[in-house]
């Protein structure tokens, strides 16, 4: 399964809104500028997220978008399914070999488990354990 730009940019929008959760609305223009993305494209992506009830739009001069729920209750799976559709690594039929069909189901379920167990709060609070130390060595 490959996540398209719809899913990736949609996750970016939601992470940006999660960082600002409780602080008021965030404009798509500011999200687009901060992430060097097309504002027009983000407008297309936020519509299904709004229709699904994950974000609310606020009108006015200081308007924008806010999360409709706490970042700890929205999973990356919620977002990806709204923007990408069902999670499935392959389209398979009942005529497929049972062993292969079982493999595809296990892969699908593993991907779904990871997406459904990762919340927006997890993503915005992520700390990279593999990042290099900030020590400076002088020779």
* CATH number, residue 87: 1.10.10.10
CA angle 19–21–27, rounded 5-degree value? 80
Is 133 within a domain? Answer: no
Is 53 within a domain? Answer: yes
- pLDDT of 19 higher than 70: yes
Q: Which residue has the tokens 């992506």?
A: 45
Please give the residue range of the domain that contains residue 71: 5-125
Is the overall model pTM greater than 0.75, yes or no? Answer: yes
Sign, Cα dihedral of 47, 52, 53, 54 = negative
**What's the total number of domains in the chain?**
1
Contacts of 18 (CB under 8 A, 6+ apart): 67, 71, 74, 120, 121, 123, 124
State pLDDT tens for residues 88-128.
878 766 667 888 888 888 999 999 999 999 999 999 998 76
Mean of pLDDT values over 32-51: 95
How far apart CA 41 and CA 72 sit, in angstroms, is 26
Is 19 within a domain? Answer: yes
Is 30 within a domain? Answer: yes
Mean of per-residue pLDDT scores for the chain: 89
What are 23's two structure tokens? 């602080």
Is 32 within a domain? Answer: yes
Is 135 within a domain? Answer: no
């Amino acid at each position: 399964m490959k996540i398209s730009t719809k899913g990736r940019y949609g996750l970016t929008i939601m992470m940006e809104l999660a960082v600002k959760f409780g602080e008021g609305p965030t404009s798509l223009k500011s999200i687009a500028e901060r992430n060097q993305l097309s504002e027009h494209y983000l407008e297309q992506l936020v519509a299904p997220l709004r229709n699904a009830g994950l974000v609310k739009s606020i009108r006015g001069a200081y308007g924008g978008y806010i999360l409709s729920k706490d970042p700890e209750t929205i999973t990356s799976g919620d977002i990806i399914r709204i923007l990408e559709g069902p999670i499935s690594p392959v389209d398979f039929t009942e005529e497929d070999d049972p062993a292969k069909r079982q493999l595809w189901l296990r892969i699908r379920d593993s991907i779904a488990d990871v997406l459904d167990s990762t919340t927006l709060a997890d993503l915005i609070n992520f700390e990279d354990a593999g990042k290099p130390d900030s020590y400076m060595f002088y020779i």
